[in-house]
């Protein structure tokens, strides 16, 4: 149960992966931006400002970026020393043992699959908004979940189906589409700043902290969702040509770019529209419509759709690679680590994840899934950060092309700050998290523990 996986076994698995190494450092940065810049700017900024932080949402982004930056240093060290597709799951397996790794892998479902579901809901809202500005109004029955008065959110289901097919076709093709859409997304953000920036009314920033400092941390807990892509790109390690160098570059550079964009957009958004009116899933488009830029808002809407598409793509990609690693270790059915002979992708896992997420996106409200996604991510952040210190002690000779600076200070801060944001989430979210984790323990006891590769006579294992 607490047996660890040896580095030699991880290296052997990587050598037999069957996945194609097609990605470089630029692709890593684009994957990070593709996953992160989207939901935070185009969906959650307005809700977090209206309900939690007001104009102080700018500080919420800074707080989230500091926490994520500390964690990213930990991820960068582990990604450079253990360049495996399982990301946080594999790091935990090597450092803390199988049971902890299972809990991390189980909660990665909250980060990736539930995250993709939330993003798909935002994608649908922007599509409906664009069509409405053009005089086309889709029936609410097919554009809203039952909780919001509809029957099914069909656009959300269709975007998940699209990225699923793309991911089955191959990582090279998916990366090319991602690069194109990221370029369009960044252009859209700069267009918004150009159009709305000169119209900022600083009186809208007063009061700056209408909900107090508690609102800043609560807002940070919600928009922390915006930084998920920074860690998800580590799941691409086995498809990267030089993962020990390129993955840390992708993590750090994409985080820096994302933070600058987030703060700039939050400042302009709350400066042109009173924060109380931003409680919408399409705040950027709403702000431009308010300023009279119907043409500009349509362009931003298109860019938002492009951006949210890349987030869906990277989230589902990351989930399938996490499942690939867990299946390879025997903790979930072996079919999920099958690689397509022509496309070089884990097609069974991709189709399964895409199908489940599509159904969730069609029927689940976005607010519920966003908070669940955050708590699952923060749990993984806490464990991964702790793994850095554990491996420094248990495997001091492990090659570390990138070393977390001042780890004895940075890692405890990463753990403490992640726990602090976790505590800012609602009690209902914690209850769901505990129930979800309990279900995971039952699944592990019923299947994973009995089918683990560590139980095979040929397995190379160590007792923690």
pLDDT digits (tens, 9 = 90+) for 171-223: 888 889 989 999 988 998 898 999 999 999 999 999 999 999 889 988 887 78
pLDDT over threshold 70, residue 302: yes
Burial of 263 (0-12, 13-18, 19+ CB in 10 A): middle
Respond yes or no on whether the N-terminal peptide bond of residue 207 is cis (omega within 30° of 0): yes
Q: Quick one: tokens of 251? A: 């993590």
Query: To which residue do tokens 């399409």 refer?
Result: 282
Choose among 254, 336, 325: nearest CA to 31.
254
Residue 265: pLDDT over 80? yes
3-state SS assignment for residue 424 = coil
Q: Is residue 21 part of a domain?
A: no
Under 8 Å between Cβ of 463 and 394: no
Q: What is the SS3 assignment for 240?
A: strand
- 294-298, 337-341, 381-385, 418-422: segment of lowest average pLDDT: 294-298
Those residues with Cβ within 8 angstroms of residue 388's Cβ, 6 or more apart along the chain or in another chain: 74, 77, 78, 404, 407, 411
Per-residue pLDDT, averaged over 421-449, amounts to 91
Q: How confident is the model at residue 457 (pLDDT cuts 50, 70, 90)?
A: low
Q: Are 124 and 282 in contact (CB under 8 A)?
A: no
What mean pLDDT do residues 148-164 have?
94
pLDDT of 303 over the 90 cut: no
Cα 310 to chain centroid, rounded: 11
Q: Give the residue-averaged pLDDT of 216-237.
A: 81
Residue 88 lies in a domain: yes
Residue 236 has pLDDT above 80, yes or no: yes
Pairwise CA distance, residues 126 & 134, whole Å: 13
- Residue 367, pLDDT score: 64
DSSP 83-143: --TTTHHHHHHHHH-HHHHHHHHHHHHHHHHHHHHHHHHHHHHHHHHHHHHTT----GGGB
For residue 219, give both structure tokens: 């807002």
Angle 73-407-32 (CA atoms, 0-180°, nearest 5)?
A: 5
- In tens, the pLDDT along 350-405 reads 999 999 999 999 998 766 666 677 788 889 999 999 999 999 999 999 999 999 99
Q: Is residue 248 in some structural domain?
A: yes
For residue range 243-254, list pLDDT tens digits in order.
999 999 999 999
Q: Does residue 188 sit within a domain?
A: yes
Give me the pLDDT at residue 128, please.
Answer: 87
Hunting for tokens 């390690």 — which residue is that? Answer: 237
138: Cα separation from own chain's centroid: 29
- Number of structural domains found in the chain: 1
- What stretch of H or E contains 462? strand 461-463
Q: Taking Cα atoms as reference points, which of 394, 27, 397, 69 lies closest to residue 245?
A: 27
Rounded CA gap, 47 and 263, in Å? 15
pLDDT band at 256 (very low <50, low <70, confident <90, very high): very high
| Secondary structure of residue 23 in the 3-state scheme | strand
In this prediction, residue 57 has a pLDDT band, given cuts at 50, 70 and 90, of very high
Element (H, E) at 30: helix 25-36
With 0-12 CB in 10 A as exposed, 13-18 as middle and 19+ as buried, what is 368? middle
133 contacts 286 by C-beta, under 8 angstroms: no
Percent of the chain whose predicted confidence (pLDDT) is above 90? 53
d(CA 229, CA 231): 5
The residues pairing with 5 across neighbouring beta strands, listed in sequence order, are 461
Which structure tokens are listed for 321? 């690679």
Whether 98 is covered by a domain: the verdict is yes
What are the phi and psi torsion angles at 23 (to 5°)? -110, 145
pLDDT above 70: residue 123: yes
Query: Does residue 25 sit within a domain?
Result: no
Question: Would 22 be classed as within a structural domain?
Answer: no
Q: In CATH, what number is assigned to the domain containing residue 156?
A: 1.20.1740.10
- Average pLDDT of the chain to the nearest whole number: 88
Residue 342, number of CB atoms within 10 A of its CB: 9
Residue 135 neighbours by CB distance under 10 Å:
6
Angstrom distances, CA of residue 134 to CA of 173, 192, 298, 354: 32, 19, 8, 30
**Is the bond preceding residue 317 a cis peptide, omega within 30 degrees?**
no
Rounded to a whole number of angstroms, the distance between the first and last alpha carbons of the chain is 9
Specify the pLDDT at position 462: 42
Cα radius of gyration (the chain): 21
Query: Do you know the residue count of the chain?
Result: 464
Chain position carrying tokens 């669940």:
372
Tell me how far apart the alpha carbons of residues 283 and 289 are, in angstroms, rounded to a whole number: 10
Q: Which domain holds residue 314?
A: 3-16+31-463
């Amino acid at each position: 149960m607490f047996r660890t996986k040896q580095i030699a076994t991880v290296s052997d698995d990587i050598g037999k992966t069957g996945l194609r190494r097609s990605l470089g450092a630029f692709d890593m940065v684009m994957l990070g931006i593709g996953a992160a810049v989207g939901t935070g700017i185009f969906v959650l900024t307005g809700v977090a400002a209206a309900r939690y932080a007001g104009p102080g949402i700018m500080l919420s982004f800074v707080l989230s970026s500091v926490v994520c930056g500390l964690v990213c240093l930990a991820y960068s060290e582990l990604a450079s020393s253990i360049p495996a597709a399982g990301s946080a799951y594999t790091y935990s397996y090597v450092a803390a043992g199988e049971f902890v790794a299972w809990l991390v892998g189980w909660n990665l479902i909250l980060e990736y699959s539930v995250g993709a579901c939330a993003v798909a809901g935002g994608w649908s809202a922007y599509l409906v908004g664009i069509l409405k500005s053009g005089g086309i109004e889709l029936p609410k029955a097919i554009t809203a979940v039952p909780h919001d008065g509809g029957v099914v959110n069909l656009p959300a289901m269709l975007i998940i189906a699209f990225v699923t097919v793309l991911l089955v076709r191959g990582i090279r093709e998916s990366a090319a589409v991602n690069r194109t859409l990221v370029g369009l997304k960044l252009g859209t953000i700069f267009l918004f700043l150009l159009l709305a920036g000169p119209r900022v009314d600083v009186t809208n920033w007063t009061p700056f902290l209408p909900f107090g400092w508690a609102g800043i941390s609560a807002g940070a807990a919600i928009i922390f969702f915006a930084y998920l892509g920074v860690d998800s790109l580590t799941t691409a390690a086995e498809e990267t040509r030089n993962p020990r160098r390129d993955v840390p570059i992708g993590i750090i550079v994409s985080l820096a770019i994302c933070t600058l964009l987030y703060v700039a957009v939050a400042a302009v958004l709350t400066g042109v529209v009173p924060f109380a009116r931003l409680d919408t899933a399409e705040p950027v488009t709403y702000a431009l419509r308010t300023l009279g830029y119907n043409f500009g808002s349509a362009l931003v809407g298109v860019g938002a759709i492009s951006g949210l598409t890349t987030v869906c793509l990277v989230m589902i990609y990351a989930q399938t690679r996490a499942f690939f690693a867990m299946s390879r270790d025997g903790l979930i059915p072996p079919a999920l680590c099958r690689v397509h002979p022509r496309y070089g992708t884990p097609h069974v896992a991709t189709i399964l994840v895409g199908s489940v997420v599509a159904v969730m996106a069609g029927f689940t409200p976005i607010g519920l899934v966003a908070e669940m996604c955050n708590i699952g991510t923060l749990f993984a952040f806490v464990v991964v950060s702790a793994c850095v210190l554990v491996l420094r002690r248990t495997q001091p000779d492990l090659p570390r092309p990138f070393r977390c600076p001042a780890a004895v200070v940075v890692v405890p801060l990463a753990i403490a700050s992640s726990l602090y944001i976790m505590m800012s989430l609602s009690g209902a979210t914690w209850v769901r998290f505990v129930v979800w984790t309990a279900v995971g323990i039952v699944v592990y006891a019923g299947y994973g523990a009995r089918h683990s590769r560590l139980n095979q006579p040929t397995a190379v294992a160590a007792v923690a």
